[in-house]
A and B are shown apart, each in its own frame.
Chain A
Amino acid sequence: LAKTTQPISMDSYEGQEVNITCSHNNIATNDYITWYQQFPSQGPRFIIQGYKTKVTNEVASLFIPADRKSSTLSLPRVSLSDTAVYYCLVGDFSGAGSYQLTFGKGTKLSVIP
């Protein structure tokens, strides 16, 4: 059963670059890695998705090494509004034969003025 591991929390000052790493040792060959952002009492919001190497959009970058056993979400120049919980999502195929998506525990990012 593939699982993901992320740091529980991180602190950063405004304007700094923040890197959050997720471990997923048992990622399946066809699975993509997706990151979501969640504010209190709201549903998660899609940030970025990738399969390998590097992906960049207007919000973040995602770095995935060749072995794909981990990924790093990079948020450039964070602001107070980036304070949220960030989830790493990887497709998961259970031994019982059903397919499910597994969210990690999430990383609570606190941006300090």
Chain B
Amino acid sequence: KAGVTQTPRYLIKTRGQQVTLSCSPISGHRSVSWYQQTPGQGLQFLFEYFSETQRNKGNFPGRFSGRQFSNSRSEMNVSTLELGDSALYLCASSLDPGRTTDTQYFGPGTRLTVL
């Protein structure tokens, strides 16, 4: 079974631009979560989508948004990029985390650099 895939793997943007990252979950997985990883803050939860609905959201500004399609693929968008948005963006899929911790399978990540 193919793992979680993320595209692109690397991205360079300039301040003020916007960016869209894509994630394809493991086949059959309906939940997709996004995380931001930086050296200073570690892994931080952005949001989670399940059945095309955002179910949970972390403490990030509204510039960070996402969506999920009917085939469970998900996209994440960051508008008006700032230097501090430079990070590794990770996508994780699972069957359905719900309230109990479920096994999340992570993709390789997209390395975003904002200049």
Chain A positions within 8 Å of B, measured between CB atoms, are 28, 30-34, 36, 41-46, 49, 87, 89-91, 93, 98-106
Our count of residue pairs bridging A and B at CB distance below 8 angstroms stands at 67
Question: Could you tell me if B57 and A100 are in contact, using CB atoms closer than 8 angstroms?
Answer: yes
Q: Does B64 contact A (CB under 8 A)?
A: no
Question: Assuming A43-B4, A44-B106, is B101 touching A102 (CB within 8 A)?
Answer: no
Question: Could you tell me if A101 and B45 are in contact, using CB atoms closer than 8 angstroms?
Answer: yes
Question: Assuming A46-B105, A90-B101, A91-B101, is B42 touching A100 (CB within 8 A)?
Answer: no
Secondary structure of the B contact surface, majority rule: strand
Question: Could you tell me if A46 and B103 are in contact, using CB atoms closer than 8 angstroms?
Answer: yes
Question: Could you tell me if B100 and A30 are in contact, using CB atoms closer than 8 angstroms?
Answer: yes
Q: Does B83 contact A (CB under 8 A)?
A: no
Q: Which 10 A-B pairs have CB atoms at the shortest separation, nearest pair first? A: A43-B106, A103-B43, A32-B101, A100-B45, A91-B101, A34-B101, A105-B42, A44-B106, A100-B56, A99-B56
Question: Could you tell me if A98 and B57 are in contact, using CB atoms closer than 8 angstroms?
Answer: yes
Question: Assuming A46-B104, A101-B97, is B109 touching A41 (CB within 8 A)?
Answer: yes
Q: Number of B interface residues, CB 8 Å?
A: 27
> Chain A: which residue is nearest B91 at the CB level?
A43
Chain B 35-49, CB-CB to A under 8 Å as 1, else 0, gives 100000011110010
Which residues does chain B contribute within 8 Å of A36, judged by CB atoms? 106
From residue B108, how far is it (CB to closest CB) to chain A in Å? Answer: 6
From residue B100, how far is it (CB to closest CB) to chain A in Å? Answer: 5
